[in-house]
Structure 1
Amino acid sequence: MPDSTITIRPLAPADHDQWAALWKDYLTFYETEKPQEIYDTTWARLMTAGEDPYGLCAVDADGRLVGIVHYLFHRTTWMIEDTCYLQDLYADPAVRGQGIGRKLIEAVYDAADEAGAGAVYWTTQHFNATARQLYDRIGKLTPFIKYAR
Structure 2
Amino acid sequence: MVADGLGISAEFQATLSSVVFADIRVALHTGSFADARALTGRAFGDMQPDGLMLPFGRIAGAELAVAASLPDASDLLADAASTVEENDWAEACLLRATGRLHDDPDALAAAVERWERIGARFERACTLLLLPDRLDAGGRGRLRRVLLRHGPGE
The TM tier, using the shorter chain, reads 0.3 to 0.5
Higher relative contact order (CA 8 A, sep 6+): 1
Higher helix share: 2
Which protein is richer in strand relative to its size? 1
TM-score (norm 2): 0.32
